[in-house]
Amino acid sequence: MNTRAVAHHQQNDFAERLTILAETASRLGFEIVDVAGFLDHIEHSSFDQLALLDTVKNRTEQVMGANVSVREAVQAVVDSTDQAMGVVDGTVKNVRQAGDRTQKVASWVSELNARMECVAKTLRDVESNTAGIAKISTQVNILAINAKIEASRAGDAGRGFAVVAEAIADLSRQTDAEAANINDNISRLAEWIKELDRESSEIGREADSVIEEAKQTDTDLSRICEGVSTARDGASRIASEADQVREAIDTFGPAISSILESVNKTANGIKLAHERVENLVDQSERIVQTSVEFGGASSDSPFINRVIGDADRIGKIFSAAVTSGRISMEELFSRDYNPIPGTDPQQYHTSFVDFTDEVLPKIQEAALDFMPEVVFCAAVNPDGFLPTHNLKFAKTPGDDPDWNQANCRNRRIFNDRVGLKSGNNTEQFLLQVYRREMGGGEFVLMKDVSAPIFVNGRHWGGLRLAYRT
């Protein structure tokens, strides 16, 4: 074998090895991206758990504070019920004493009623005797009149008898007058006694009512006393339970802090591992890219060549439009994103969206027919803003955010790792592997090859071509 043949053989062998290296790095990139996606999910979950544990810790501290307040409040209730029990006991004692005094008054009133009856009876007897005296006085007066008549008939012999008869008549008149006075006084006294008897009867009935009410009050106060005592016992039990809660929380709090610290270390470790895996993704992509640049013929080569050519065509179309005055450089490179109301996920409008809607579909739609593995072809600027997508991904947004996520991908900012790197890359091409979110928690492993777009020598962004392998 001559030298030229050996060199050719070595060159072919080197190219084959580069191809194997590119294919191996590509498969490795898929595996690493899958692991990165898993770590990303775990990282989000761990930080969600951290937030939850932090909330639990805060709630635990709040419970501890509230438990202290409850313990203090319950102790205040215990103290208040102790004081209330003393007051109620004293009130019950006073009510009972008042009841005893009222009962004595009622007994005295009852005895008074009985005595009033005796007095009334005596007055009736006196009134009867007075009537008898008046009757006798009337008879004596008649007798005196008859004696005076007889004395008058006797002449001088009856004068002495007439004087006596006159004296008797005068005494009779005085007796009758006094008897009338006595009768009047007795009548008035009887009325007074009757009125006093009526009032004493009313007082007696009221006293009986007071006694009954005092008994009921005594019963009610006794129940209140029992209720206060029960409340005090309950408050004492609550205080005891609060002490046990405090002891439990005193043990629980440090445990939560320890778990929080452990999960925090784990989350930070996962975050660091995620970052390192992302670096591995970058390295595997760099290996694929370098091996292809040095002649490795990988399965990605047709897609790479396609996107490089299409990006160059777009750059020329943009440059010609600026030169003709169809759009200005200021408008084409604008970063002024205006949110479109009512869109979820959020969509934006810029000064160059209408222009890209006119010129990009011709190139981007044609790329979909290039290979059956192609999923989409779209241009993005350095912010990851995608103004014009393929028609199948540029539907009118509806009310379902998950449906919109999968079908309304135009006019959105994709500022993830792949989107930003695609928009900021200025090398001939960039090959990336990633998990594409399709909405509803669904992901698809994809490859994304992009090439920079230059407008009159100024970097505008990049053209992305995503495909399955």
Helix H or strand E encompassing 379:
strand 374-380
Q: Give, rounded to a whole angstrom, the gap between the first and last alpha carbons of the chain.
A: 39
308 versus 46: which is more confidently predicted?
308
Distance (Å, whole) CA 279 – CA 422? 16
User: Residue holding tokens 């999968």?
Assistant: 406
Q: Any residues with CB less than 8 A from the CB of 70 and at least 6 apart, and which?
A: 238, 242
Q: Considering only the C-alpha atoms of the chain, give the largest distance between any 2 of them, rounded to a whole number of Å.
A: 218
d(CA 245, CA 232): 20
On the question of pLDDT at 51 being above 50, the answer is: yes
Domains and CATH numbers, the chain: 66-252 (1.10.287.950), 299-467 (3.30.450)
The whole-number pLDDT of residue 8 equals 46
Those residues with Cβ within 8 angstroms of residue 47's Cβ, 6 or more apart along the chain or in another chain: 267
pLDDT tens for 114-129 read 666 676 666 666 666 6
CA atoms of 282 and 433, how far apart (whole Å)? 9
pLDDT at 297 over 60: no
Question: What pTM was estimated for this model as a whole?
Answer: 0.52
| 397, pLDDT greater than 80 | yes
Q: Closest Cα partner for 452 from 336, 300, 286, 314?
A: 314
Q: In the predicted model, what is the mean pLDDT of residues 324-336?
A: 97
Count helices and strands in the chain by DSSP H and E runs: 7, 8
C-alpha span between 429 and 232 (Å, rounded): 82
pLDDT confidence band for 103 (50 / 70 / 90) = low
Query: Rounded mean pLDDT of the chain?
Result: 75
Alpha helices in 294-342 (DSSP H): 301-324, 329-332
| Total residue length of the chain | 469
pLDDT for 219 equals 74
- Rounded Cα–Cα distance for residues 237 and 3 (Å): 102
pLDDT at 226: 72
Q: Rounded to whole angstroms, how far apart are CA atoms 41 and 35?
A: 10
pLDDT tens readout for residues 447-456? 899 999 999 9
DSSP 8-state secondary structure symbol assigned to residue 394? B
Question: Rg of the chain over CA atoms, in angstroms?
Answer: 61
CA 415 to chain centre: 37
How many angstroms separate the CA atoms of 279 and 268, rounded? Answer: 17
Contacts of 103 (CB under 8 A, 6+ apart): 207, 211
Strands 412-413 and 338-339: unpaired
CB distance 134 to 183 below 8 Å: yes
Token pair, residue 101, equals 């005094």
**pLDDT for residue 318 is more than 80:** yes
Q: Per-residue pLDDT tens for 65-82?
A: 666 666 676 667 667 677
Three-class secondary structure of residue 344 per DSSP: coil
Place of tokens 């009972």: 96
pLDDT per residue as tens digits for the range 201-253:
666 666 667 667 666 766 766 777 676 677 667 667 776 766 766 666 666 56
